[in-house]
Structure 1
């Protein structure tokens, strides 16, 4: 009871703080609605400096939140793409900010058309727990590049990282430019109800619907980066070593707690056993042991661990063949939240692992007869955030590209499309809406303002009333044909 009262009191403080800062940022934006290129560049450089100077503290904080988070994975998947994203934006921002000239029909000449890229105002960002640094910094970089003020709600499930990120941001930016908000789910709910000029949410589809519903009350535009069941197709003729190695990497990174992790594998029926054998070999080469291996990440918390164990139990009870890949045959059930990769064969549609996004180290393997059967399987389900195809036949590659939909796609790789600075990242359908990263991030957080401009001579007067004149008839004859 005491803990509940304390939590409510803390939540009230966080909510009051959110409201105050939101008003401060709105006021600050009105006072500087079009920051210069130099201002934006300096903000990005400041962010880069503070991230680099706190690198080790960031790695330690994420490690503590997960109980064991591979520091190399944090460098590879959080720090490095954050820094590279800043560098790419700094290099290209001047060009992005330039108004773009557009065509003017002869009907409206003499005049000019241009698109002016204007900051939207105050941007809200809601960050998930699985990549707490990168999924905060990525949207922040895009928002600052576009000239906005930014408020960031960090996840309550990464308390050490969230507290540190707040400290880092406060050391680098005034609160009316960038502010970090912490707190529980009720704080996040209130945060999503603020009338932001744009709101970006990364998380589950179910929570994404709630966020979009709250944003709709304010007509706030949203970018939703959700999840889904991202498939990996093994072609009939790809060398199995190549496919299994790259899928093993994509699934093992962060112990599968990645929104674009391969969620299930579609494999030719006559190659399933070869895939299982090769996957076991490749995973063991990367992770010869798990329990005390600092390269292998733990499940974030007990709640997520129990959810995943429940998925395995449900699949086992319903007849799945579960193949645990635990190279050193270690006991991982006496206090550690490390989970071995488990391949699931002979799955059925009623199993939870075939209905929900897995978001952990469980990988169903589903057999198919021909490639079109695999494509139909994917297309019969909600559109995924990512799709992976493994095969070197160019005609097969193009067939899969043209016959499927997904937020993004890799051919002969997994996850790496997310790290491409010049590619947009985003979902489609149940896996989200909108894009960011690189230029698309700048555009997402900018209002693309159409400006039609004319000077003294007014060609428009030829269509003014009274109608039916010779000039009108000539205009109609020339332009309605």
Structure 2
């Protein structure tokens, strides 16, 4: 296929959308059900392809994180779809006075979805389900870093969908930039902040609205009310999800200064218990490719050269890191300073930075000077300190005492803020993202609003609006304590 074929696919979807009009609820439910069936029927092939793309990635992890993770949300969408599709009538009593107001959730048209390599199936399937629920046609562009999984997905999609409903575009057809340059009615991207900027630039020529789900350096705060050992175990496990290659993983941990060494010992101990063997362990996930592997090691080398303390949970007798398998032992870094690359760059690997703090104000001030992350984590009580932290910091979401809770709850919006993204999805929020909320208003009055606004204005109207403006000025001045 070629770029011409890409444009033909887009045109086919656009023409079908225009010809058929908005699909009814039964059609949308059927499409979501077919998407779920495609994932489940193809699960073994998809998981095997992901393992080959990574080098080492257990099928059980891919099954949990990529195949079945969105199934409950899809069922929730199918159950609630008709309710979401009903027009909203904000002032029903206005009809008694001859006024009607309605807002209809209508599909946008053709939606493009660009996925990342870290959860390459989940993060195209979940937004695709939301786009289908909203009544759109969908084009998927999975990551070029997972070509085997992408090809399997493309083959499966052709069996479950006509290409004017949903189609998978591989890197052989178009690059991510070429895909993003299509005149979509909405473009959805999950990935790095830098790539997100490129996607937004590509979409700008068509004024395509963009949802960006990015990342950032997610902080975890261990409060003095937290159980230190439990917090260390949970944060350590969270850091190792997909070997740290997840946009929601904690990147840095703030620990009370008197407890740093105890926390680090507990963290390393929890990792050693979880991974008594790494070399040859098919449950220990590889870094995606050589470039990513070298980048993580370069961050550690830079931190070491500038005075940081680096400790690993490498099993005794194992020679790690290992370039051939691209495996890096769980690693904790302390003594980090602002001149280290580790202080600013998202790690995206099995490395956790630990900072000491005396007062929560230090944490708040530190985070206020840096880009807003996708998520923040608080380990401890819901007390005054937590509420102060919540009020004074920014992040896409806040999770307390565990990893990824907001992401797992499809009743909540999921998305970033600032450098960690724009827009949100999941559940009804995804339906809204991929819908245009189109208002309709009418009245049965004898007078015309247009005739009232259009000039020439009578002297009586001029006096009336002048008097009204002065009354409003006085009322507001009184509220402000002015004359």
Q: How does 1:143-222 map to 2 (within 5 A)?
A: 143-183=131-171, 187-222=175-210
Shifted more, 71-80 versus 378-387: the winner is: 71-80
Equivalent-residue separation in structure 2 for 1:120 and 1:82 (angstroms) = 23
Q: Is the 8 A contact 2:3 2:173 kept in 1?
A: no
The superposition leaves residues 414-457 of structure 1 with CA deviations (integer Å, 9 ceiling, x where unpaired) of: 12321111111111111111111111111111011111122475
* Partner of residue 49 from structure 1, selected from 26, 37, 43: 37
Aligned residue for 2:197, secondary structure, equals helix
Structure 1 regions of 5+ residues with no counterpart? 1-12
Structure 2 regions of 5+ residues with no counterpart? 473-483
Equivalent-residue separation in structure 2 for 1:252 and 1:329 (angstroms) = 21
Tell me by how many angstroms 1:377 deviates: 0.8
Equivalent-residue separation in structure 1 for 2:434 and 2:252 (angstroms) = 34
Change (3 A) 1:320 1:186: farther
Shifted more, 193-202 versus 84-93: the winner is: 84-93
Equivalent-residue separation in structure 2 for 1:170 and 1:462 (angstroms) = 56
In the alignment, does 2:4 pair up with 1:16?
yes
Q: Is the 8 A contact 1:406 1:427 kept in 2?
A: yes
Q: Is the 8 A contact 1:73 1:253 kept in 2?
A: no
Equivalent-residue separation in structure 1 for 2:376 and 2:355 (angstroms) = 15
Equivalent-residue separation in structure 1 for 2:259 and 2:287 (angstroms) = 31
Q: Is the 8 A contact 2:6 2:173 kept in 1?
A: no
Tell me by how many angstroms 1:247 deviates: 0.6
Shifted more, 325-334 versus 295-304: the winner is: 325-334
Residue 393 of structure 2: aligned partner: 404
In the alignment, does 2:379 pair up with 1:390?
yes
In the alignment, does 2:216 pair up with 1:232?
no
Q: Is the 8 A contact 1:462 1:472 kept in 2?
A: no
Q: How does 1:116-127 map to 2 (within 5 A)?
A: 116-127=104-115
Residue 6 of structure 1: aligned partner: none
Residue 306 of structure 1: aligned partner: 294
Q: How does 1:252-331 map to 2 (within 5 A)?
A: 252-331=240-319
Equivalent-residue separation in structure 2 for 1:393 and 1:173 (angstroms) = 47
TM-score, normalisation: structure 2 = 0.92
Equivalent-residue separation in structure 2 for 1:184 and 1:46 (angstroms) = 26
TM-score, normalisation: structure 1 = 0.92
Shifted more, 225-234 versus 178-187: the winner is: 178-187
Change (3 A) 1:186 1:313: farther
Tell me by how many angstroms 1:103 deviates: 3.1
Change (3 A) 1:445 1:334: closer
Aligned length: 469
Q: Is the 8 A contact 1:110 1:454 kept in 2?
A: yes
Equivalent-residue separation in structure 2 for 1:326 and 1:88 (angstroms) = 42
